[in-house]
Amino acid sequence: MIGRLALALVHQPVLDRSGAVVSAAVTNLDLHDIARVARTFGAGRFYVVTAAAGQQHLVARILGHWREGFGAGYNPDRREALSLVETVPDLDAAVAAWGSRCGAPALPLLTGARRSDGIGFGAARELLADRPLLLVLGTGWGLAPELFTHGWPVLEPVSGGSDYNHLPVRAAAAIILDRLYRSGT
């Protein structure tokens, strides 16, 4: 079931700390950590969303090092994880690519640490049983509001039961996949 789940890490449009809509820079460790988490839980693909040519080039260089260059021989486990990564210019392209891979339309499942309109993890698993799902994570201070105007479902925030609501996107990705995967929960 989890095989029809993919992840998208959106670098634009996202918010910055002031609430402005910006393009965020790609972080090397986001690629590694989220690819390894995706591979661990059997997610099918990890789309890195950025339209900036320089950023796409950076991702290509990182992937080249680990998938074909020195890193591929030095750390084959890393190569295996990073083989899931694909760069796309916008979220629509990620949705289309994942749907095309699965042979069925993919549904984006948005995330946001401050959303109060989210569905639970049980409901998300039910969606996933029906159709390919693209879990959409935002960098910076989160996905821009315009992404929430399409009627796509939103996943409830990961809460730790405290008043602190500032998980790294890398940690949120790990916890969300663990919760989706552990179908007993």
Phi and psi, residue 138, nearest 5°: -105, 145
CB of 37 to a copy of itself, least distance (A): 5
Q: Which candidate, 143, 20, 12, places its Cα nearest to that of 87?
A: 12
Nearer to a copy of itself, 88 or 172 (CB): 172
Nearer to a copy of itself, 49 or 173 (CB): 173
CB of 87 to a copy of itself, least distance (A): 21
Contact of 179 with 121, CB cutoff 8 Å: yes
For residues 96 and 38, give the distance between their C-alpha atoms in angstroms, rounded to a whole number.
19
**DSSP designation for 4:** G
Nearer to a copy of itself, 96 or 167 (CB): 167
For residues 59 and 107, give the distance between their C-alpha atoms in angstroms, rounded to a whole number.
25
Which residue is it, tokens 């995967």? 181
Nearer to a copy of itself, 100 or 185 (CB): 185
CB of 165 to a copy of itself, least distance (A): 7
CA end-to-end span of the chain, whole Å?
15
CB of 89 to a copy of itself, least distance (A): 27
Residues that bind a copy of itself (CB under 8 A): 2, 29, 32-33, 36-37, 39-42, 77-78, 80-81, 158, 160-162, 164-168, 170-175, 177-179, 181-182, 184-185
Nearer to a copy of itself, 93 or 158 (CB): 158
Q: How many CB atoms lie within 10 A of CB 17?
A: 8
CB of 117 to a copy of itself, least distance (A): 21
